[in-house]
Structure 1
Amino acid sequence: MARLVKCGAAVLAICVALPGALTTDACAADGDTLAQIRARGVIRCGVSEGIQGFSVKDGSGRWSGIDADFCRAVAAAALGDPAKVAYVPLKASARFPALAEGIVDLLARNTTWTLLRESALKVQFAGVLFYDTQAFLVRRPGGVQTTTGLKGAAVCVEKGTSTDVHLREYSADHQLDLKPLVIDSAGEARQAFYAGRCSAYAADLSHLAAVRVEAPGGPQSADILPERIAKEPLSPVVRGDDPSWLTLVRWVLFTLVAAEELGVTRDNLQARLGDPAVKRTFADDDAINRGLGVERGWMVRVVQSVGNYGEMFDRNLGPRTPLQLERGLNRLWTQGGLMYAPPLR
């Protein structure tokens, strides 16, 4: 039986807004996440309210982005079907309450991995899905070319983010006297920036790239300053009371990376399953399957659902997308990046 916990006001609003949310597991956190998901038949995945390249809903109601794809990969492993995802859009300030209260099973929402969050919020980060950095967006023309030109300026920042903390620390360290204008949501922060309420917008570089693409005057009307003021390792997050669920989510991520290391793609997977290295990696191990609580073939289903990590990156964030992001730190370790999968056996 699900253990009910008292919903906070912010999460109660989410409960009311979600069809079927006020069930026995709506505000549950009992350490048996996978059993609840199976009983429900769908994974509830907390995502952004709309950040291009990460999680955004189109006119037909379909969610796209690397975070949305990761949710599909987890559903493929856990439920056998990547379509069995209910996307729950959340403001940054509502994401951790929603996770803690059991409104979502998984956060895949541009969330930075920090010690404070793990220790104080009792959550667990599954691994880095995207290595990001914090930067500043300014309007052009404006004469500001570096952060020194922002001395004493108002800077838009979203409420409930590590960006706010890093912004204040950077301002103090460099004696810039920046004045954070803390705004409730990413959409409202973007609007405030383009309305001229602040001289700069501070956020993850990838987020700013999306904001720049959507600028009223086109991408050429805004610039991202060259300084990178903080590390922002973005990671999927689960509650800290269910180590088995954490393990499954973590190894879905590593499976995506391992597939790219092996040169396995969604298109060539079946043809490559006979290769010795691929066979060793993707072969079913009944002990592992029992430990994770999943059906045989879960790793194959993960790659079939979204491709390997590189395919996810290129499809949602890469040079052929509006964001035009380079792989950078998100390259494989064999290509000068930080991405690699631990041994699967």
Structure 2
Amino acid sequence: MRLAKIGAALGAALLGAVTAGSAVAQPAADTVGAIRQRGQLVCTSAPSTVGFSLPDSQGVWRGIDVDYCRAVAAAIFGDGNRIRIVPSSTQQRFTMLQSGEVDLIVRSTTWTMAREASLGMLFAGISVYDGQGFMVHRDSGVTSARQLDGATVCVQPGTTTELNMADFFRTNNLRYTPVVIENIEEIRNAFISRRCDAYTNDASSLASFAAGQGANMNRYLLLPEIISKEPLGPAVRKGDTRFFDIVRWTHFALITAEELGITAANIDSFASSTNPDVQRFMGRTGDLGRMLGLENNWAVNVIKTVGNYGEVWERNMTPIGFPRGINNLWTRGGLQYAPPMR
């Protein structure tokens, strides 16, 4: 009798374990299915950052972040225009992704351990290797960030920028007063009107701000110190490896195309290439597209839509005066490097 009771207890425990395991093993999310059913990819980007995301005079969104959104849409639909850009603040972006309001963050967002570990998101690549800097009014006479003792500094809340700034001033035993403003236009206006002595952000964003001032851009000076690593890139929700793979390999397709010399203008001329790497890229061999749940010519559609990584950079970042530098291909002294597409 005692053995029977023990056996029954063990059986119940095993059944409970199976039931609990079944409860945990939820079916994987189907982001791509939802995107296809909706008929468009929904991305969140900054509301007005020249070079990254800004509507033009016709209301069409332009910038490197927008191009990444278009590239992913081209991979999925074969049409890079099937996107919707939803502007967000620095604090809204993560909630919008977590809630499913958007499919993808492409918003000058820094890849950090804490964001992946605690916010339920994964970064699919690094679109811009950046670093945080400081900008001042040129007539202030300040030429180094170490001269900012006692300064007021404009910064956006809920960002790695805010944390890096605190670390920098504490490490260098400097005093400062943060002027914390969430809206990007308000923070820029505060700096222009001298409510703060300095403005801190990613160096690319500061270059974007200065470029947006037109004839007045020389009134501002980007200080030489870069105080952090800011790898910026697209981010997706955890739990859908298929969509993650599509976004990641879209990024790598942009880099691979530049490595191979493939551009938006000449890609059709590569259709008859006998180079095995080119054949796989063009979808003529290898079934790489089907492995991702896409058409085999998905990478062709991406490049025809936005060009290769170099073209994306030249169109968006070069005009704001942000040097390519470490964002060059690895074969040209930079960090951009794509794993083999095979």
* Superposition TM-score, scaled by structure 2 size: 0.89
What is aligned with 1:289?
A: 289
For residue 205 of structure 2, what is the amino acid of its counterpart? H
Which position in structure 1 is the counterpart of 2:163? 165
Higher helix share: 2
Distance 2:304 2:339 in 1: 21
Q: Which residue is 2:103 aligned to? A: 105
Alignment match, 2:317: 317
1:230 match: secondary structure: coil
Aligned to 2:86: 88
- One of 322, 333, 339 as aligned partner of 1:336: 333
Aligned pairs for 1:244-323 within 5 A: 244-277=242-275, 278-284=278-284, 288-318=288-318, 321=319, 323=320
Number of residue pairs matched?
314
CA distance in 2, matches of 1:182, 1:63: 27
Which amino acid is the alignment partner of residue 183 of structure 2? S
Counterpart contact for 2:283–2:296, Cα < 8 Å: no
Q: Verify the 8 A CA contact 2:123 2:234 in the aligned structure 1.
A: yes
The CA deviation string for residues 43-88 of structure 1, in whole angstroms up to 9 with x for no partner, is: 0011111100011001211011111111111000011210000011
Whether the 8 Å contact between 2:263 and 2:303 is mirrored in structure 1 is yes
- Deviation, 1:288, is 3.5
- For the pair 1:225 / 2:236, whether they are aligned, the reply is no
Kept in 2, the 8 Å contact 1:127–1:253? The answer is yes
What amino acid does structure 1 have at the position aligned with 2:42? R
Distance in 2, matches of 1:284 and 1:125, equals: 29
2:71 is matched with 73
Residue 330 of structure 1, CA deviation: 0.4
SS at match of 1:181: strand
Contact map agreement 2:283 2:289 (CA 8 A) in 1: no
With over 3 angstroms needed to count, the CA separation of the structure-2 counterparts of 1:316 and 1:282, relative to structure 1, is same
Q: Provide the C-alpha distance between the structure 2 equivalents of 1:216 and 1:336, rounded to a whole number of angstroms.
A: 32
SS at match of 2:131: strand
Contact 2:280 2:286 (C-alpha < 8 Å) held by counterparts: no
| Residue in structure 2 matched with residue 137 of structure 1 by the alignment | 135
Identity of aligned residues (%): 43
Contact between 1:159 and 1:185, CA under 8 Å: does it hold in 2? Answer: no
Say yes or no: does 1:210 pair with 2:190: no
Code of the aligned partner of 1:331: N
Q: Which residue of 2 aligns with 1:3?
A: none
For 1:91, the aligned partner's letter is S
1:19 paired residue number: none
**Cα distance in 1 between the residues matched to 2:299 and 2:200:** 38
**Larger Rg computed on CA atoms:** 2
Normalized against structure 1, the TM-score is what? 0.88
8 Å CA contact retained: 1:132, 1:205: yes
Q: Is the 8 A contact 2:30 2:240 kept in 1?
A: yes
- Cα RMSD of the aligned pairs, angstroms, is 1.5
Q: Secondary structure at the match of 1:155?
A: strand
Q: Secondary structure at the match of 1:77?
A: helix
Taking the TM superposition and a 5 Å limit, the aligned residue runs for 1:31-70 are: 31-70=29-68
Is 1:66–1:316's contact at 8 Å kept on the other side of the alignment? yes
Aligned pair in 2 of structure 1 residues 203, 284: CA closer, same or farther (>3 Å)?
A: same
Structure 1 runs of 4+ off > 4 angstroms? 284-287
Specify the alignment match of 2:4 in structure 1. none
- Show structure 2 runs of 5+ residues with no match: 1-26
Paired with 2:300 and 2:215, the residues of 1 have a C-alpha distance of 44
AA paired with 2:280? R
Distance 1:206 1:79 in 2: 31
